[in-house]
Amino acid sequence: MSELTGTQQSFRAAMANLSAAVNVVSTDGPCGRAGMTVSAACSVTDAPPTMLVCLNRASRSHGIVTGNGRLAVNVLADGQEDLAMHFAGATQVPTAERFDDAWDLDTHGVPVLRHAAAVVVGRIEAEQDLGSHTVLFVAVEHVRAHDDGGALVYFRRRFHRVGADALIA
Amino acid sequence: MSELTGTQQSFRAAMANLSAAVNVVSTDGPCGRAGMTVSAACSVTDAPPTMLVCLNRASRSHGIVTGNGRLAVNVLADGQEDLAMHFAGATQVPTAERFDDAWDLDTHGVPVLRHAAAVVVGRIEAEQDLGSHTVLFVAVEHVRAHDDGGALVYFRRRFHRVGADALIA
């Protein structure tokens, strides 16, 4: 057990214990095509259907996403760790090559990952800057969900898998 | 694969595939003591350390949390499914009895779960209403993290466990 005051370093250690889905936020439009791996995302309300995602303003993709005003949250499935790494900039794959034939680039105006655990396509309805990040509120236009298969989870700075192994409770 | 438009029902189905940590948001103060199970929570920025949590305005605890203005986000560990159920109102346990000796009620002014995967104690800095929910921005005052053990994940409306079984990537 680490007992810590609210410094940046201790906060990061605690947030590493907050498990989260791994998502690629993708965009396309007048400002260009981009994608970035994001774990800080959640549902806000279903009336009207709204998600939020937190983006680092220092990232190159930030201005592209907010400039285009439309995005997809592609929730990564079990086995898509390589995509998480690509879009986190942890590999040397050029941006253009990251969007290969695993992606549907045409149907929704923004890249949609064909075999994601879920995809939410929407329009940025509001933005709120807070410290280093911007919270984007996304009005949901289109939704896609896979009914089976597992999903990728980020916990203690490692990838994990959740799937059919549900607990009883 | 379900291909869906952005209705409430389809959005809920997609969000069931967005795996998330399971947290009990706890509060105490002039408006009383309360706790509620929340999966919509994430880190916003570490400069300054800030989290957000989304609460349903229709819940009884909403006014207590916002009235007190201080809360803890207790990130549930592996094996704490019973707490998730209690604080989701899925059991008949009265509120007063939910805060048993697993909780430290004194140190931080709000209940802190002793064996949580992580705890973040903070002050509500801003609120934003959006549809049925309020997004609470929490300025972090105090942090506690367990360095080992697993955590509870909610995925497809079931509890799962993440722990030592990290994937290679």
State the pLDDT confidence band at A91, using cuts at 50, 70 and 90: confident
Helix (H) or strand (E) holding B85: helix B81-87
Please compute the mean of the pLDDT values over residues B112-138 and round it to a whole number.
Answer: 97
- CA of B165 vs chain A CAs: smallest distance (Å): 7
Question: How high is the pLDDT of residue B166?
Answer: 64
Question: How high is the pLDDT of residue A147?
Answer: 84
User: Residue B15, SS3?
Assistant: helix
Give the Cα separation of A72 and B115 in Å (integer).
37
The total of structural domains in chain A comes to: 1
Rg (C-alpha) for chain B, rounded Å, is 16
Angle subtended at Cα A87 by Cα A28 and Cα A154, rounded to the nearest 5 degrees: 125
Q: What is the mean pLDDT of chain A?
A: 92
**Percent of chain B clearing pLDDT 70 (strictly above):** 93
Question: How high is the pLDDT of residue B148?
Answer: 87
CB A114 within 8 A of CB A72: no
Residue with tokens 């003591």: B33
Q: Give ipTM to 2 decimals.
A: 0.93
Residue with tokens 């869906």: B4
| pLDDT(A121) > 90 | yes
Any chain B CB within 8 A of the CB of A58? no
Question: How high is the pLDDT of residue A94?
Answer: 82
Closest CA in chain B for residue A43: B40
Any chain B CB within 8 A of the CB of A104? no
Give the Cα separation of B50 and A8 in Å (integer).
10
B115 falls within a domain: yes
B80 falls within a domain: yes
CATH number at residue B115: 2.30.110.10
Please compute the mean of the pLDDT values over residues A139-160 and round it to a whole number.
Answer: 94
B2 falls within a domain: no
B12 falls within a domain: no
Angle subtended at Cα A119 by Cα A86 and Cα A107, rounded to the nearest 5 degrees: 95
Give the Cα separation of B137 and A108 in Å (integer).
32
Check residues A91 and A155 and name the one with the higher pLDDT. Answer: A155
Q: Do A21 and B16 touch (CB under 8 A)?
A: no
Q: Do A145 and B4 touch (CB under 8 A)?
A: yes
Q: Do A135 and B44 touch (CB under 8 A)?
A: yes
A84 falls within a domain: yes
Q: Do A19 and B16 touch (CB under 8 A)?
A: no
Question: How high is the pLDDT of residue A112?
Answer: 98
Closest CA in chain A for residue B164: A160
pLDDT in tens, A27-71: 999 999 999 999 999 999 999 999 999 999 999 999 999 999 999
Q: In this structure, what token pair is assigned to residue B152?
A: 């509870």
A121 falls within a domain: yes
Give the Cα separation of B153 and B76 in Å (integer).
9
Cα dihedral B13, A45, B152, B67, rounded to 10, equals: -160
B62 falls within a domain: yes
- Considering only the beta carbons, identify the residue of B23, B40, B162 that sits closest to A153: B162
B97 falls within a domain: yes
Please compute the mean of the pLDDT values over residues B129-157 and round it to a whole number.
Answer: 95
CB pairs under 8 A between A and B: 248
Instruction: Identify the residue among A5, A8, A15, A154 best suited for mutation to test binding to B, counting B beta carbons within 10 A and taking the highest.
Output: A15
Structural domain span for residue B146: 21-162
Helix (H) or strand (E) holding A85: helix A81-87
Question: Which of A114-118, B96-100, B122-126 is predicted with the least confidence, judged by mean pLDDT?
Answer: B96-100
Question: How high is the pLDDT of residue B107?
Answer: 96
State the pLDDT confidence band at B95, using cuts at 50, 70 and 90: confident
Give the Cα separation of B47 and B44 in Å (integer).
9
Any chain B CB within 8 A of the CB of A43? yes
Nearest-CA neighbor of B19 among A166, A94, A92? Answer: A166
